[in-house]
Structure 1
Amino acid sequence: MPSRLHFGEDDFLRCRFAVSPLWETQEVVRMLKRPERQGYHAHWLRRMGRIAAGLDLTDLWLLMPQPGYCPDWLCPPPIGPAATFEEEIAAVRASDPEAAREETAQSLADTPGALELPQARAWLRHPARMIEHLSDLMEEAYRALVAPDWPRLRALLEADVAFHSRRLAEVGLGGLLPEISHRFDWHAGTLTVEHRGRHERRLGGQGLVLMPSVFIWPDVVSTFEPPWQPTLVYPARGIGALWSEAGDRAGEVLVQLLGRGRASVLAALDEPATTTALAHRLGLAPSTVSAHLTLLRQAGLLTARRYGHQVLYERTPLGIALASGGS
């Protein structure tokens, strides 16, 4: 079902990008519960699986219904363009208990029987204790699962922001948003987002926060309920190569499977690239690279996305597994 965000003149002047370690923490917790989100993160899961298994994330998962509402107080829009986790979790700990109780009750109602669970009843009776408990869990998850890789994650997220900031200057907001995700459609000052929920909101001069996320793929999140600032969260560019290790990607097994030309093209896509860029990188004719890309895409190893006049190719989870030797 679609959600719609209606822009006024002032809203165009108040659109900004942000990066949020708190948001990545929520989404990595959610990803651990949802196999459909794990395709790009097989390497990470193998490396961090034992650590993740040692965490009790049950209470956080209880407030992540699928489908359903996740309480905004637990992971609000970022308080600044580059806030630290310590700043963000401090804001969560300072949440208003009554507002947190109402949002938590709304989230629990989306899971049949959840309101009758002992911990749920305790949370609604003592929301201040709930805030402390869930904030502690979120901080534990951050320290164990996100902090060790945060420099790498932040670099990729900041690269996404830099790229899309340039595109914003080139094509404007109405041109940029459909490029960011095929689920975004822009018409006459209204952004329509195709996802599970239904929401209608006039931004009313608050503008919009655009936030890339590593672990949200393939989903998007649109807006937050008032009084939270409207926010769009979308999959960051380049996650296909995020966990790749250095080495020869076009191994002999891959060459035997695909042929040397197609194996070289697949291996060269450590980050999204155009036909022209790949041809220059590999020293091949653009027509040759184009033919290889077509076959790799038909085989389900690549996806293609249009950015303005360019088409960028990116490896799918299957393509990642083949390019990394299936390890």
Structure 2
Amino acid sequence: MVTLRLSPLALSRSRFALSPLAETLGTALALARPHPAPWYAAWRARHLPAFTAALDADPFARGLLGLLSSTTWLPCSVAIPPPDGLRTTLAAELAAVRAVPDAVFRAELETSRAHPHPRYATGHRHHHDLAWLTGHDWAARTADLLHALWSAHIAAEWPRRRALLERDIAHRAGLLAVRGWPGALEQMSRHSTWEGPDAIRFGRHPGPDRVIGDIGLLLVPVSLATGTWLCEGPAGRYAQVYPARGAATTATADDPDRALERLLGTGRATLLRALRQPATSTELAARLRQSLGTVGGHLAVLRDAGLVVGVRVGRRVVYRRTERGEQLVGDGDGTAQRRTPRG
């Protein structure tokens, strides 16, 4: 497992960020790999025909995504730290991808090829050679491919996906204020653990440890991902990508509001939807124009059902939806050094 070691200053400067590129990469991996997670199988079935047709028409795309989906080392030419925090745009990230020279691009793919994933590389031929890597300007072709994937599979869903990612960040920011970084990173990934006051261990595969400099670490949530990966850029810039809470809501029913009301009743369904952002019972009562007693009764039922949980912050109790609650509501939509380990 890889260990990230952070100085006290690095901890104080670590922050959350968004990355449309990481979202695109995670989506591509979800489409390229067999045996999808059950919670996005329906979404994948809808998108897979167009995705497969695009790969069949382009040997470069088929070879590249075959390699990326069957390695434990994502090349840093596509796994880069988002440059502008929460305001990062896909255009800015793809510009960085395009700037990678051919020699560097190929060397990174050779490293990825040398680290086949024990689960996904079985029976996959694309990681054995790079015969599909013909011509030149590979980084530019990769940027064009990623942009096409974004347009075909993500752009229309991005507002809802972004809302899901922002909810995850808001949730973890609240934990950070109360419990510090170990609390904020709790259950970020089943393969990530906080070790002592200044180190994070993540992934299941061996790799060199990293020392995070005073610039700090970026934490980047994505939907449709089941693992984590580390992005590394120049000047010691690092970002850890992790699966956002509630990502199972990517595959939703055609009319989830009516189904939710039939299941919970109108009042409790309305309150559960209102907890898109964590809130106190007083805030919920004011927002919904209901009495505190009514809101408290609904919260008690939802809490007993495991759909919401209350976290004490000072004198207040802030309620948020649990992962089960996120899945039920389904309003959020709906993976330097040149080797980037992935869990």
In the alignment, the residues of structure 1 paired with residue 309 and residue 207 of structure 2 have an alpha-carbon distance, to the nearest angstrom, of 28
Measured after TM superposition, the shift of residue 311 of structure 1 is 9.0
* Structure 1 pair 196–248 and aligned structure 2 pair: CA distance change class (3 A): farther
In structure 2, what is the equivalent of residue 297 of structure 1?
none
Residue of 86, 95, 104 corresponding to 2:100: 95
Runs of at least 5 residues in structure 1 that lack an aligned partner in the other structure: 294-301
Which has the bigger relative contact order, CA under 8 A and spacing at least 6? 2
Letter in 1 for 2:249: A
Letter in 1 for 2:102: P
Runs of at least 5 residues in structure 2 that lack an aligned partner in the other structure: 56-60, 285-292, 332-343
In the alignment, the residues of structure 1 paired with residue 269 and residue 299 of structure 2 have an alpha-carbon distance, to the nearest angstrom, of 16
In the alignment, the residues of structure 2 paired with residue 267 and residue 181 of structure 1 have an alpha-carbon distance, to the nearest angstrom, of 30
TM-score, structure 2 normalization? 0.70
In structure 1, what is the equivalent of residue 66 of structure 2?
62
In the alignment, the residues of structure 1 paired with residue 99 and residue 244 of structure 2 have an alpha-carbon distance, to the nearest angstrom, of 29
TM-score, structure 1 normalization? 0.73
Measured after TM superposition, the shift of residue 169 of structure 1 is 2.5
In the alignment, the residues of structure 1 paired with residue 138 and residue 220 of structure 2 have an alpha-carbon distance, to the nearest angstrom, of 27
Residue of 133, 137, 147 corresponding to 2:145: 137
**RMSD value, Cα:** 4.0
In the alignment, the residues of structure 2 paired with residue 43 and residue 307 of structure 1 have an alpha-carbon distance, to the nearest angstrom, of 37
* Structure 1 pair 280–15 and aligned structure 2 pair: CA distance change class (3 A): farther
Task: State whether structure 2 residue 174 is matched by structure 1 residue 166.
Answer: yes
CA contact (8 A) 1:8 1:189 kept: yes
* Structure 1 pair 280–71 and aligned structure 2 pair: CA distance change class (3 A): farther
In structure 1, what is the equivalent of residue 205 of structure 2?
196
Within 5 A, what are the aligned runs for 1:212-223?
212-216=221-225, 218-222=226-230
CA contact (8 A) 2:71 2:113 kept: no
In structure 1, what is the equivalent of residue 186 of structure 2?
178
In the alignment, the residues of structure 2 paired with residue 193 and residue 31 of structure 1 have an alpha-carbon distance, to the nearest angstrom, of 20
Measured after TM superposition, the shift of residue 49 of structure 1 is 3.9
Within 5 A, what are the aligned runs for 1:74-93?
74-81=78-85, 82-93=87-98
Q: Deviations over 1:247-285 (max 9, x none)?
A: 322587xx7xxxx79xx98998667899x9899669458
CA contact (8 A) 1:185 1:191 kept: yes
Residue of 198, 203, 214 corresponding to 1:205: 214
State how many pairs are aligned. 298
Within 5 A, what are the aligned runs for 1:1-327?
2-56=1-55, 57-81=61-85, 82-111=87-116, 114-120=127-133, 122=134, 128-182=136-190, 183-216=192-225, 218-222=226-230, 224=232, 229-244=237-252, 245-250=255-260, 283=297, 286=300, 292-293=305-306, 313-315=322-324
* Structure 1 pair 78–285 and aligned structure 2 pair: CA distance change class (3 A): closer
Q: Deviations over 1:28-58 (max 9, x none)?
A: 1100123554433245335434433332141
Measured after TM superposition, the shift of residue 12 of structure 1 is 1.9
- Indicate the structure with greater helix content: 1
* Structure 1 pair 51–307 and aligned structure 2 pair: CA distance change class (3 A): farther
Q: Deviations over 1:136-165 (max 9, x none)?
A: 211111111111211221222223223322
In the alignment, the residues of structure 2 paired with residue 86 and residue 251 of structure 1 have an alpha-carbon distance, to the nearest angstrom, of 40
Between stretches 7-16 and 135-144, larger displacement belongs to: 7-16
Q: Deviations over 1:86-110 (max 9, x none)?
A: 1111111011333222111111223
Specify the SS of the correspondent of 2:4: strand
